[in-house]
Chains A and B, each alone.
Chain A
Amino acid sequence: MMGASFVKDRLFPVMTILLAILAIWYVAAYSMNAPFQRDFDRRAGETRTGTEFFMATMSQPKPTMPAPHQVAENLWKNTLTVKPWSKRSLVYHSWVTLSATLLGFAMGTALGVVIAIGIVHVPALDRSFLPWIIASQTIPILAVAPMIIVLLSAIGVTGLLPKALISTYLSFFPVAVGMVKGLRSPDVLHLDLMRTYSASRAQTLWKLRLPASMPFFFASMKVAIAASLIGAIVGELPTGAVAGIGSKLLAGSYYSQTVDIFAALIAGSIVAILLVSLVDLVGRLVNARMGAKTP
C-alpha cells in the first residue's frame, strides 16, 4: 500500500507544517497591517466592527505584509490567466531566471569538478588554491554582482551570460568542496587494488574516484543549484533588468507592490524546489543504477 504510506509518511508532515506556516502568516499579516488600517480608518472617520476591520487588513491594495490569499490570487492571475510568454506572466519571468540559473549551474558544476580533480591530483594546488577559493566565497555577492554586470556590459556582454556568471561564481564552490571530499573518499584498500594493476591516474580517476564520489556529487549539486538560482536573481537586481524574478522583485519594491514581491518570491521558491527535487531524483536514479541497496 504505497499510497497510504505516502500520505502518512510524506504528505501529512508536509501539510502540517504548511498549515502552521499559513496560520502564522495570517497572524503576522493582521498584526502588521492593523496599525496602517487603524490610522487610515481614523482619518476617513470610519468605524468598523471587529470582523470588518479584520477583513480590511486582509485586503489592502498595498499591504505591509500581504495575506496568503492575496499572494495566491496574484500568482493565479499572473500564471494561469495570461499567456506564458507575455511580459506579465510569472512563468515568463521564471523562465528567464531559470535559463540563467541552468547555464550558470552547468558552468559552475563543470568548473567545480575540474578544480576538485586538480586539487586531488596536484598537491601544490591543494595548498595554494583552496585558500583562494574559500576567500572568493567570503566576498559578499551583492558587492561583486554589480561589478561583474557593469564590467561585462562595458565590453559588450549583456543578457544571459553575466547573470549566469554570477550563478557560476556561487555554485562552483559547493561542487569543488564536495568533489574534493568525494574524490578522496575511496578507501586505501581500493587504491592499493588499482595500484596492483598499475592503473594510470586517469584510470584510477575514471574507474574508482569518480564513481565513489557520486553521492558527494549529488549532495553538493543540490546546494549548488539553489545557490545558482540566488545568483541569477541577484544578477538581475543591479541592472534594473526588465525580465526575470529579480526584476519583478525590484519593480515590486520600487512601486511598493508588496503582493507582487511576495508572488515573485513564491515563484522563485517553486522554481528552487523543482530544481532541487530534479537533482535529487537524478541522484536517486544514478544511485539505483550503481547497485545501491533499495530500502
Chain B
Amino acid sequence: MSRIFDVAVIGGGPAGLAAAVSASENGASVALIERESRLGGILKQCVHDGFGLIRFGQKLAGPEYAERYIELLKNTKTEVFLTTFVTAVKKADFGFSIAIVNKEGISHIDTKTIVLATGCRERTSKQVLIQGTRPSGVFTAGVAQNFVNLLGKMPTKKCVILGSGDIGLIMARRLTLEGAEVEGVYEVKPTPSGLTRNIHQCLFDFNIPLHLSTTVTRVFGEDRLNTVEVAQVDEKMKVVEGTERIIECDALILSVGLIPENEIAETLDVKINNATKGAECDQTYMTSVDGIFSAGNALNVFDLVDYVSESAQSAGASAADYQGTKREYIEIERGKGLLSFVPTRLDILGKLDKVILFFRAARDMDKAKLILKINGEIKLEKKFSYLRPPEMQRLELDLQNYGLDGSSKVLLTLEEGWN
C-alpha cells in the first residue's frame, strides 16, 4: 500500500516553508512540493532588505529570510519534492491524491490534508488598458526583478514604470543603482499604492519623480518599445485632453498589483472571497473544503513576509491537528471602511480565544476606529492614529466570551474620527 502523508504543502516559498516546519513540529508526516529547483519562492529574487523585523527582530534580505526557514526545515523530517509540478488534485476516501510531474515522470502524492501555499501572481498588461502596438519591452516589475537579481541581466536602459506598487518602487531603485534611467513612476490613482517608506527610500532618495493621477495611454514601437505616451486623468479616471506627453524609453514596467494564485484551489471548488481574491477561510486557515488549508499570499496578499510566515505557521499546525471534527461557520460581514480581511469566517465550535485578524482600510484614514459588532451590539473597538490601504494591520481578538452561535451576525467596520 502506498504511503499517505498527514500534510502535503504545495509551494516552497516562505508560506510553504513555515507551514511545513510547523506541521512537522506538531507531529505530522509532511510532503513539501515545489516546482522550482530550489526553495524560497519569490524571496530568492527579493535581494533588498526589510524582511523579518517582526519574525526575527532583524532587517534581513529576502534570500537571507528564506535561508533561515530552509535551515529550520532541515531539522524536520519533511520530505521535499523539488522540480515537481502539481497538475491536479483529486478527492479520495483518505483525503486527497495530488497528481505531480517531475523528472521521474508522472505520479501522485497521497495525503490527508493539503496546505495551499502557491503564492500570488502579478497583474499584467491584459488587466490594464493601454492602446497601441504590442512591441517587446512591456513587462512586469517581477520579471524585471528576476532578470536583474537572479540572472544578472539588465532588461532596460531607460524605462517608465506604470503603477506605484511596492515591487515597482523597489525596482525603480534597483534599476537606478545598476545604471538605468527611470524616467518616472506613473500612478493613475491620486494616492500611491506602495508603502510610504518605499516612496521615500526608493524614489525620493534617487530623485525619481512620482506622477499621481497620471497614466500611460499609448505605447509605440515596432519590435521593441521606443516611446510611450502619458497623460493626466481626472477624478473619473478620464484622460484630461491636452496633458499628453511623449517619453522616449525602451521599456514600460508594470507594477499594478498582485492577486492570489488560485488555480489549484479553483479545481477543488474552494470558495473565493471577493475582497481578498483568495480562499474563504476560518480562524484555523481552513478553506470551504474540509482538509484544504491556505496560507501566505495564495490566501491574501500580505506584503509583509513576516505575516505570511505567521499565517502559514498556523495553517500548518491546523492541518497537522486536523481530525475532521465537525465545524459550524458564521461569515464575518465586511462593513464600510474595510478593503479586506482574513479570516473571512469563524468556526464557532473551534477555538475563539486568539483569533488573529489581518485587515486593510479601504482608503487613507486618520484617527480610525475598528468596530466589531455582534447582533448589532458593539463588542469591541480599537483605535488607530492613521490607516493606509497599503499597510496591513494585525490584531489579536478574544471572541470566546460573546456567546457566538450559528445565528450570530458578526460585522466589522472602520470609522473615522475619535478624540
Q: Indicate whether A and B interact.
A: no
